[in-house]
Amino acid sequence: MPKSLTPRLAALRDEIHGHAKEFGLDFFDTIFEMVSYDEMNMVAAYGGFPTRYPHWRWGMEYEQLAKGYEYGLSKIYELVINNDPCYAYLMESNPEVDQKLVMAHVYGHCDFFKNNFSFRHTNRRMIDEMANHATRVRRWVDKIGVEKVEDFIDRTLSLENLIDQHAPHIRRNPDPRKAEDELKANERVEGFKVGREYMRGYINPSEFLDSQRKKVEDEKQRAKKFPERAQRDVLLFLLEEAPLEPWEADILAILRDEAYYFAPQGQTKIMNEGWASYWHSTIMTRRALRDDEIIDYADHHSGTMGTRPGAINPYKLGIELWRDIEERWNKGRFGKEWDECDDLRARRSWDKKLGAGREKIFEVRKHYNDITFIDTFLTPEFAMEQKLFVYGFNDKRNSWEILDREFRKVKNKLLQGLTNFGQPIIEVVDGNFENRSELLLTHRHDGQDLKGDYARETLRNLQSLWRRPVNILTRYDNKGTMLRFDGQSHSERKVDL
Amino acid sequence: MTLKIHQDHSRFKQIVRGKIKANLRKYVQKGEMIGKKGKDAISIPIPFIDIPRFKYGHKEQGGVGQGEGEVGQQLGPGAVEPGEGKQAGQGEGDHALEVDVTLDELAQILGEELQLPNIERRQNERLISQKIRYTGINTTGPESLRHFKRTFKQALRRQIASGTYDPARPVIVPTREDRRYRSYKLQDLPETNAVIIYMMDVSGSMGDEQKEIVRIESFWLDTWLRHQYKGLEARYIIHDAVAREVDRDTFFHTRESGGTMISSAYKLCRDIILADYPKSAWNIYPFHFSDGDNWSADDTRQCIEMLRNDVLPNVNQFAYGQVESPYGSGQFIKDLREAVGDTPNVALSEIADKDAIYASIKDFLGKGR
């Protein structure tokens, strides 16, 4: 299993560590471990962790990684865990220059994990937590059987993206408002305060108490339309309201915790990969690279930065945007005066010699996520320079094609893809739909229809947790549509919105 | 070394295997598997191994890309990765995952499902074959093995070292000394050899549907025998009134209009065996497919004689598959049954339609010969 660094690599690590500190990076302690390539594939299949709960999809992931490596299609260079201390892995067979690059890259990530606001609520002892999760699930496997547990995990994973992506991970249980209501209700049932015990029968006659009790009952009945407000955290709702067995609730809670742990990484992919790439590039080219390593470094670096026409490479977009911000703040290309300047030549030679770039990017890495990062810093000049475009599928030609290079559209499309991870926003609106304990979800439709076969399969899985019929209100071809699965069959009907 | 993930990995494989088993009959009947065959593996679409989610179809969604090109320009095939996953070949909309299964594994599954016995080898003699393994990089070699990336890297290295590299005009010209080639070693592999001799009636009465059945069936026969013998050869004979040896492609795509003389094929089969496959070193499997029509009772008599005297003594098993066609009388299998039906190394099977292929494979391979 993982080995510690050789003295030679430890010396290199100390060197890179020194450079990173000197540039002002601020990170948790970072522990590097050496792994073989199949250990690397394993850890990658586990999402970066040395241990996860047992599930077949890690095996599927592993097979694909191993195959990609074998065929020379892909190779994982860096893996780092958001944890205190951070853990990162180095592949045994890599040349020294790659190891240095990876170390520099890793320190960039660790700085980001520690400082970006999105990670503030993540569990920094997640390695232990993951191991605990694995133990808990294994115990259930021993007790309940692997088939049943795995089947439940499959169905729950199907709902894994139904969390409130942007809420910090706080469990609102017990809900303080609920507790307060409970308290008030009790007061009312007890009636008015009685100073003298013998007066009780007069002040709070039993008819009065009865009527009060009934009132409270009625209120409770009415309040059975729950949740009170639409709830994005569908997993939490299920955890609290679905008739789950203890083992099912435990596993659901585990998967939800893990989903929340990974959410910020999804929200800061472009920033985080860009930041790490910016720093490996800076540290390597300004400090750590030996002359004889230049070619291999350039080969590796350009491999990471490669783009395909039909995708955004977060490493490339990220690093370029960080460099652009740094340059703009170095040269003072921001603010009112800059915005109002229409003279192209003046803009091109604009340099106020502010030198505030470095400071600015450190500030930005603290307070932004991908959406606000792109929204704030993606400029028309940048989009043009980077040759960004919107693409779409042309049904008539049965192929993908470039639709638009207009800045607004590019930016909107980019933001749309990042909102809620580019996944539909779905909420629980009623847990007692039509007063029959059915579940009603809505899809906040933003112009894109749900993928039909996936939606139906997902409903089926949802139903198996809720045990009663489940419904989702969405739109297809611009018409309100209610999809329903009642435990036996699917149905679909048009509804007015 | 064992890794924790191997448990998850074998669990995954077990699930895939289960899915294949459950769908095997369907796969067997469909010819599409043949088109997905690679060298050692076949990609099989597995239904519903993906975890469903509420999500958008990527086609509806589109996205942002980066690079040159005018508005309206098409993006090349493969430019857009379907869906969100990294799964190779994950089709859009069809909710299936393509998994690569080795032919060996597929044969195992076939064997388990049809309860096929392992073949008792008649010949255990080991022949040696050689396999090429690419093991490294060399400075000399044939041009077809030139390693482009290494070559250009070497050239870039040289140009930078000699100061002739201009970043503003990054042109790299490799010289002869820069060239790098993949180098290989030959490895000896011991093998037990077997040969399949496929024969098929291509006269007018054998239609496309009948040939498709033969094509599918032969795929599974190949797969099973290849699983049992590491070195497998195949020869192909077509016949109407005369027989000739052809390549695999011709075998499945020839249509003649003449009459049928089955004896011509058996004669050629016998000659091939005598010339190329000494009984002492080879496991031999002739498979003959026709719709059961023969020119004359006289010719049938000749066939049986040849089988008895020249073919059956030399082969592991002789198999005859009769594919039902609207024109064939279906007489031949009756004659064979009567004459050699009791011989242990004869397998006879009637194949009514594609659905019958499954059972027919068992007829052919169920004897374990």
Within a domain: B64: no
- Give the ipTM of the model, two decimals please: 0.82
Q: Give residue B92's pLDDT.
A: 35
Those residues of chain B that have pLDDT short of 70 are 1-2, 32, 35, 47-49, 58-60, 81-98, 121-129, 188-192
Cβ pair A316:B66 closer than 8 A: yes
Residues B172 and B283 in one domain: no
Residue A449 has pLDDT above 80, yes or no: yes
Cβ pair B55:A423 closer than 8 A: yes
- Tell me the pLDDT tens digit for each residue of A255-302: 999 999 999 999 999 999 999 999 999 999 999 999 889 888 998 898
Residues A379 and A429 in one domain: no
Say whether residue A161 is in contact with chain B using an 8 A CB cutoff.
yes
Q: Least CB-CB distance to B7: which of A41, A54, A311?
A: A54
How many CB pairs (< 8 A) connect A and B?
202
Cβ pair B55:A450 closer than 8 A: yes
Cβ pair A402:B15 closer than 8 A: no
Q: How many domains does chain A have?
A: 3
Q: Least CB-CB distance to A62: which of B9, B57, B62?
A: B9
Structure tokens at A131: 């191991």
Q: pLDDT-derived band of residue A23, with 50, 70 and 90 as boundaries?
A: very high
Owning domain of residue A353? 308-419
Structure tokens at B261: 């003389």
Residues A13 and A123 in one domain: yes
| Residue A172, SS3 per DSSP | coil
Q: Could you give the CA distance from residue A308 to residue A302 in angstroms, rounded to a whole number?
A: 13
Q: pLDDT-derived band of residue A180, with 50, 70 and 90 as boundaries?
A: low
Q: Could you give the CA distance from residue B248 to residue B318 in angstroms, rounded to a whole number?
A: 20
Residues A316 and A294 in one domain: no
Q: What is the share, in percent, of chain A residues with pLDDT greater than 70?
A: 91
What mean pLDDT is predicted for residues A462-488?
Answer: 95
Q: Give residue A185's pLDDT.
A: 55
Q: Give residue B47's pLDDT.
A: 64
Name the nearest CA neighbour of A136 among A269, A254, A245. Answer: A254
Please tell me the distance in Å from A330's CA to the nearest CA on chain B.
25
Residue A446 has pLDDT above 90, yes or no: no
Q: Least CB-CB distance to A402: which of B7, B52, B70?
A: B70
- Tell me the pLDDT tens digit for each residue of A117-129: 999 999 999 999 9
Comparing A22-36, A310-324, B130-144, the range with the smallest average pLDDT is: B130-144
Please tell me the distance in Å from B184's CA to the nearest CA on chain A.
17
Which chain B residues are Cβ-neighbours of A317 within 8 angstroms?
66
Owning domain of residue B17? 8-29+39-46+97-115
Q: pLDDT-derived band of residue A31, with 50, 70 and 90 as boundaries?
A: very high
What mean pLDDT is predicted for residues A54-75?
Answer: 83
Name the nearest CA neighbour of A292 among A100, A54, A87, A495. Answer: A100
Within a domain: A490: yes
Of A300, A316, A345, the residue that ends a domain is: A300
Q: Give residue B103's pLDDT.
A: 86
Q: Least CB-CB distance to A45: which of B5, B14, B67?
A: B5
Residues A364 and A326 in one domain: yes
Q: pLDDT-derived band of residue A419, with 50, 70 and 90 as boundaries?
A: confident
Residues B237 and B291 in one domain: yes
Q: Give residue A228's pLDDT.
A: 82
Residues A47 and A101 in one domain: yes
Q: How many domains does chain B have?
A: 3
Say whether residue A149 is in contact with chain B using an 8 A CB cutoff.
no
Residues B330 and B251 in one domain: yes
Residues A380 and A480 in one domain: no
Residues B255 and B138 in one domain: no
Cβ pair B79:A413 closer than 8 A: no
Of A396, A419, A442, the residue that ends a domain is: A419
Q: Give residue B41's pLDDT.
A: 81
Comparing A182-196, A377-391, A460-474, the range with the smallest average pLDDT is: A182-196
Of A244, A279, A300, the residue that ends a domain is: A300
Contact yes or no for B326/B291 (Cβ under 8 A)? no
Structure tokens at B27: 């796969």
Q: Give residue B283's pLDDT.
A: 87
Within a domain: B66: no
Residues B196 and B276 in one domain: yes
Could you give the C-alpha distances from A343 to A332, A336, A338, A381, in angstroms and in order?
16, 14, 10, 14
Whether this model's pTM surpasses 0.80: no
What mean pLDDT is predicted for residues A313-336?
Answer: 96
